[in-house]
Amino acid sequence: MSQKLIFSGVSRRTLLSALAVLPAFSGPLLPVLARAQTAASGGPLPSWNDGPSKQAIIDFVRATTDQGSPKFVPPEERIATFDQDGTLWVEHPIYSQVVYCLDRVSALVERKPELRKIEPFKTVLSGNREAVAKLSLHDLEAILVATLTGMPVDTFAAEAAKWLATAKHPRWNRLYTELVYQPMLEVLQFLRDNGYKTYIVTGGGQDFVRDYSQRVYGIPPEQVVGTMGGTKFGYDKNGKPFLTKEPKLLLNDDKAGKPEGIHLMIGRRPRAAFGNSDGDREMLEYTGSGDGARLMMLVLHDDAQREYAYGPARGLPDTKIGAFSQALDAEAKKNGWTVISMKSDWKRIFVFD
């Protein structure tokens, strides 16, 4: 039984050294809801600058929804998939869900005091960021398993919702759920307005993302494909049935796992797929290998001023998390995938800008 829940392709050092830049684990602060503001009057995609990226989206939607077009796609086949971290919301300096897991350790040891003196929980509780950054991948997996599994699914959902309503990103001092990209919310809405079913296809935990996907992205829980763990059906002492989250990995929804997860959960090949990193390569390849009109796009984070800049493609810094490699850039060019420049294609980054 593998316990690798989240971290395929991301090295321990990368992940943990990022912790050093976080000022503290998230504390309770006033909740502010992110609203998925949609296209205002004056045409679709108002937060996009005119250019090839905006045009590619508009051309694709027009061609696939015009009954007279040779590229027309019947409504039931209109499936669009979106990576989350780095494609729909901020993934730096570290994935929000990892911050959640570290934050949850103190609650965990209240339920299971015996863990207080056991590694790696002892180190996390020490608050010593240097020591946390030195934890092994095995240690980190133990933290994920302990904080994401072993409780009823309803308890997990309530705990995650509480955290999401208070925890803030250190750079903007805003809720993580506010740090969604306004231009991408517009793409989601534009596609839905044209009969597309929009799905999230993320390496993040499926149940975690489902907790906020509807209110943040307008995507219902049944349209979230993520890294999937097993559950176990049972009865409480009153005979009431409930499901417990098990430390059993069903599918690691990253890289090759993305098309596998799409087949499992959707059973159709997407018509459009959006990503931002090497973890999305196989999803875009799978999408692009179908017949007829297809749209494949990658968000390039080249805007250190308004968000972050990382590649290592095109000479951008190699920060590992969400890596957009030179090889991916070359494959995009070869296959005709569109690379979105955050810096030049997007007028606004966030809903609150």
Residues forming contacts to its own copies in the complex (CB under 8 A) are 76, 79, 153, 197, 206-207, 210, 214, 220-222, 224, 228, 230-233, 240-243, 250-251, 256-257, 259-260, 263-268, 282, 285-286, 289
Question: Can you tell me whether residue 222 is helix, strand or coil?
Answer: helix
Select 113 or 241, whichever has its Cβ closest to its own copies.
Answer: 241
The number of C-alpha atoms within 13 Å of 308 and in the hemisphere containing its C-beta is 26
Cα distance between residue 297 and residue 203, in whole Å:
18
* Ramachandran angles phi, psi of 151, nearest 5°: -135, 160
Residue 77 CB contacts under 8 Å (≥ 6 apart), including other chains: 268, 271
| Residue 208 beta carbon to its own copies: minimum distance, rounded to whole angstroms | 11
- What residues pair up with 274 in beta bridges, in sequence order? 82, 297
| Residue 229 beta carbon to its own copies: minimum distance, rounded to whole angstroms | 9
Amino acid in the structure at residue 263: H
Amino acid in the structure at residue 163: W
Select 172 or 242, whichever has its Cβ closest to its own copies.
Answer: 242
Select 73 or 265, whichever has its Cβ closest to its own copies.
Answer: 265
Closest to 295 in 3D by CA, of 28, 120, 80, 143: 80
Select 125 or 243, whichever has its Cβ closest to its own copies.
Answer: 243
Cα distance between residue 3 and residue 6, in whole Å:
9
Two tokens, residue 185: 């919310």
| Residue 288 beta carbon to its own copies: minimum distance, rounded to whole angstroms | 9
| Residue 99 beta carbon to its own copies: minimum distance, rounded to whole angstroms | 23
| Residue 141 beta carbon to its own copies: minimum distance, rounded to whole angstroms | 20
Select 9 or 230, whichever has its Cβ closest to its own copies.
Answer: 230
